[in-house]
Amino acid sequence: MKALRTFAVMLGVLWLSGCGINDIPRYDEAVKATWGQVENQYQRRADLVPNLVNTVKGYAEHERETLEAVTEARAKVGQMKVSPDIINNPAALKAFDENQAQLTSALSRLMVVVEQYPDLKANQNFLSLQSQLEGTENRIAVARRDYIQAVQSYNTEIRTFPGRIWHAVLYRDLPVRESFEAKQGTDEAPKVQF
């Protein structure tokens, strides 16, 4: 009888371990980890911006407005209090994303200014910083893609069977996650004028 109970308990544990009971927490942790990587890449960009601005400053002193816009956008990004709970707060996530979009826009304007200074474009420090910034922008895109995929897996799990049952019974405190959304107008090609 005791052997039968032990066997039943072991069979129950084996069944529970293979039925997806741990998928929801695993996907939730993946969402958090991929969001951490998004933040990591944004921090890398924020750290590169002051060096880039200082390099450009020497060449483009009269382009103060653009440099100030970049510095101001970078300051906004740096002042944001980003906690791990940001992924649970759609309003905070939107504000974070808007500040990052402002920095992206200011950096784009800075690159246009740089085009006017051939000596600056040939400066080794600037070329190195520009290359690092381009690489960081690519890393941000990859990190965002990974985050979107992690959110998709998590949200799919808690909305489909058997994850829906496990979510209702054991993980009801874990909310549906919000993903990134493109800003309005980004579906239109930018107008480039010389």
pLDDT in tens, 56-88: 766 655 466 676 777 788 778 777 777 777 888
- Residue whose pair of structure tokens reads 């974070």 in the numeric block: 96
Is 181 inside a domain boundary? no
pLDDT band at 194 (very low <50, low <70, confident <90, very high): very low
- pLDDT-wise least confident of 35-49, 101-115, 162-176: 101-115
Indicate the SS3 state at residue 98: helix
For residue 34, the model assigns a pLDDT of 94
Dihedral angle of Cα 89, 142, 110, 51, to the nearest 10 degrees: 90
More confidently predicted of 37 and 55: 37
pLDDT (tens digit per residue) in 118-147: 665 666 777 777 888 888 889 999 999 999
Is 76 inside a domain boundary? yes
Is 95 inside a domain boundary? yes
- Long-range contacts of the stretch 156-162 (C-beta < 8 A, 24+): 157/20, 157/23, 157/24, 157/27, 158/24, 162/19, 162/20
Kindly report the CATH number assigned to the domain that includes residue 43.
1.20.1440.20
Q: What is the distance between the alpha carbons of residues 95 and 141, in angstroms, rounded to a whole number?
A: 18
Please provide the average confidence, as pLDDT, over all residues in the chain.
79
Cα-flanking dihedrals φ and ψ of residue 178, to 5°?
-90, 145
For residue 111, the model assigns a pLDDT of 77
For residue 15, the model assigns a pLDDT of 60
For residue 155, the model assigns a pLDDT of 95
Contact criterion met (CB below 8 Å) for 30 and 24: no
The total number of structural domains that make up the chain: 1
For residue 64, the model assigns a pLDDT of 64
Name the token pair of 43: 């921090």
Is 177 inside a domain boundary? no
Is 11 inside a domain boundary? no
More confidently predicted of 159 and 184: 159
What percentage of the chain has pLDDT greater than the value 70? 76
Is 109 inside a domain boundary? yes
Is 126 inside a domain boundary? yes
Q: How many CB atoms lie within 10 A of CB 140?
A: 19
Flag whether pLDDT at 99 surpasses 80: yes
Domain encompassing residue 54? 36-169
Total length of the chain: 194
Is 112 inside a domain boundary? yes
pLDDT band at 102 (very low <50, low <70, confident <90, very high): confident
For residue 58, the model assigns a pLDDT of 66
